[in-house]
A = this chain, B = another copy of it.
Amino acid sequence: MSVLQTLGQQAKQASYELATASTRAKNKALMAIADGLVTHQTEILTANNKDIEAGRANGLTEALLDRLLLDESRLSAIAADVRSVAELADPVGEVIEGRLLENGLRLSRRRIPVGVMGVIYEARPNVTIDVAALALKTGNAAILRGGKETVHSNMVLTRVVQQALAAAELPMQAVQYIENPDRALVAELLRLDNYVDMIIPRGGAGLHKLCKEQSTIPVITGGIGICHLYADASADLEKVVDVVENAKVQRPSVCNALDTLLVHEAAAAELLPALAERLAQSGVELRACEQSLPLLAGSSANVHAAGAEDFDQEWLALILGIKVVADLEAALMHIREHSSEHSDGILTNDMANATAFVNGVTSAAVYVNASTRFTDGSQFGLGAEVAVSTQKLHARGPMGLVELTTYKWVIEGDYTVRS
């Protein structure tokens, strides 16, 4: 047995114990994690400092170093998040539906943990605690694989979690970490289908592609948002400027930020100059289609002609694609071709167009007259966000605790046979 197979087997074994652990025991472990983050603060920050120094030596940018960094206040925030997870309702054990069949069998569908989650992530060490807490709350074991840039931090954080599990008399092997930086282990994890029930990648497009292509385990792909807003001819154009600004500027580095604005040709001449002026105030660069370029000429915004691939970009930056379309149907066609099915919306005062847009767009989150920035577990009231799924099976959009569970059918009879 390889090291990873052993680890997988242990995680699977632990998952059976965790699946039947009481909410009280799981919450006790969560509170112990939160406490442990405080009591082991020096140890954690020392390990994190090693990661930061190694990162600096390896020439990581300041922005990336800041993502890796832990300090007293960030640790407190992470601990507070864990305490919040403890306060959420435990979805495990819910009877989703149940009935008595004609033959006397009692049939019910009962919510249970998925089993063992494999989580592959990049950069930020808070994900280690975040994922461990959500897995634990939902009775799942987890095998974690973070980026090599944070391995020292992650190893100490994993130890804090394991000590908390032990303190709550839960199996320590319920949360394990793959320390070895060899990339071959990621490939092996993705094929550990004997033991791992679900793979959640948290990172860039490359990581999601790798998982989709190599995993023999069901993967939740997502997190990549090529997001659109379509400004209809009927829209209140002043308000369109506000919404587009919010969707693009408020936090450009996240997946629900706007990437492309589609504009009905009847609204373009009025909307685009005003919009460009507003966005110029935040330094937004525009990548404009041929039809919109003349309308933007003379604006104080930084305007470029859109290139061939500019409408397939998740910008994650202060850049916005602008395209004029002939009508709603053309907007739908564009979105179907270019959207990553994360978050897409229409801005309109026309009921029929709003309905046609909502019906015609199959993205995980479809908006009418709102910023795409709302696609988020806490905004949607889910209490926690594990990931944002853009695939079709199991879960779509922000995933909360329930999406880390599955169900089994329980059938009770009186030595009942099928006739």
**Considering the complex of A and B, which 5 residue pairs feature the smallest CB-CB distances, nearest first?**
A370-B413, A246-B417, A239-B415, A373-B418, A393-B394
Q: How far apart sit A369 and B414, CA to CA, in the bound complex (Å)?
A: 5
Q: Determine if A304 is an interface residue (Cβ-Cβ < 8 Å).
A: no
CB distance B366 to A409 under 8 Å? yes
Cα–Cα distance between A65 and B409 once the two chains are bound (Å) = 35
Given pairs A114-B393, A363-B408, 20 additional interface contacts (CB within 8 A): A16-B332, A19-B362, A193-B212, A197-B391, A218-B391, A218-B392, A218-B394, A239-B415, A345-B411, A364-B408, A364-B409, A365-B411, A366-B408, A366-B410, A368-B411, A369-B413, A370-B412, A370-B417, A374-B418, A396-B406
Chain B residues near A76: list those with CB within 8 A: none
Cα distance A292–B95 when bound, in Å? 38
Q: Please encode chain A, from 187 to 222, with 1 for each CB lying within 8 Å of some chain B CB and 0 for all others.
A: 000000100011000000000000011001011100
Please encode chain A, from 235 to 255, with 1 for each CB lying within 8 Å of some chain B CB and 0 for all others.
Answer: 010011011011100100000
State the Cβ distance, A414 to closest chain B Cβ, in Å: 6
A411 proximity list for chain B (CB < 8 A): 345, 365-368, 370, 374
A61 beta carbon closer than 8 Å to chain B: no
Whether B16 contacts A198 by the Cβ 8 Å rule is no
Interface residue A121 (Cβ < 8 Å from any Cβ of B):
no
**Contact A242-B114, Cβ < 8 Å, known A362-B16, A363-B408:** no
21 intermolecular pairs with C-beta atoms under 8 Å apart: A16-B332, A16-B362, A101-B379, A115-B392, A193-B212, A218-B391, A218-B392, A218-B394, A240-B415, A242-B415, A242-B417, A246-B417, A246-B418, A347-B415, A362-B408, A368-B411, A369-B415, A370-B415, A370-B416, A371-B416, A371-B418
What is the CB-to-nearest-CB distance from A358 to chain B, in angstroms, rounded to a whole number? 6
Cβ–Cβ contact A397 & B413, under 8 A: no
- Mark A residues whose CB is within 8 Å of B: 12, 16, 19-20, 99, 101, 105, 107, 112, 114-115, 193, 197-198, 212-213, 216, 218-220, 236, 239-240, 242-243, 245-247, 250, 332, 336, 345, 347, 354, 358-371, 373-375, 379-381, 391-394, 396-397, 406-418
Write out the residue numbers on chain B whose beta carbons fall within 8 Å of the beta carbon of A380.
107, 409
Known contacts A114-B392, A373-B418, A393-B394: A16-B413 contact under CB 8 Å? no
Q: In the complex, which residues of chain B have a beta carbon less than 8 angstroms from the beta carbon of A218?
A: 218-219, 391-394
Select the residue from A197, A236, A247 with max chain B CB neighbours within 10 A. Answer: A197
Report Cα–Cα, A359/B336, bound state, in Å: 44
Chain B residue at smallest Cβ distance from A416:
B370
With a CB–CB cut-off of 8 A, which chain B residues contact A367? 411-413
Q: Which residue of B lies closest to A407 (CB)?
A: B396
A418:B99 contact, CB within 8 angstroms: no
Q: CB-nearest residue of chain B relative to A406? A: B392
In the docked arrangement, what's the CA distance between A124 and B48, Å? 60
Tell me the nearest residue of chain B to A381, going by C-beta. Answer: B101
What residues of B have a CB within 8 angstroms of the CB of A363 in the complex?
A: 408
Which chain B positions have C-beta within 8 A of A360? 16, 20
By a CB distance below 8 angstroms, the chain B residues around A220 are: 393
Tell me which residues across on chain B come within 8 A of A354, comparing CB atoms: 412
Name the B residues within 8 Å of A213 (CB-CB).
216
Contacts of A198 in B (CB 8 A): 392-393
| Residue on B nearest A370 in the bound complex, by CB | B413
Nearest chain B CB to A189 CB, angstrom units: 15
Complex Cα spacing A267 to B30, Å: 43
Contacts of A336 in B (CB 8 A): 12, 16
- A379→B245 CA distance, assembly (Å): 55
Closest CB of chain B to A397's CB: distance in Å? Answer: 5
Within the complex, the shortest CB–CB distance from A313 to chain B, in Å, comes to: 17
Chain B residues within 8 Å of A366, by CB: 408-411
A243: which of B20, B345, B408, B415 is its contact (CB, 8 Å)? Answer: B415
Which residue of B has the minimal Cβ distance to A193? B212
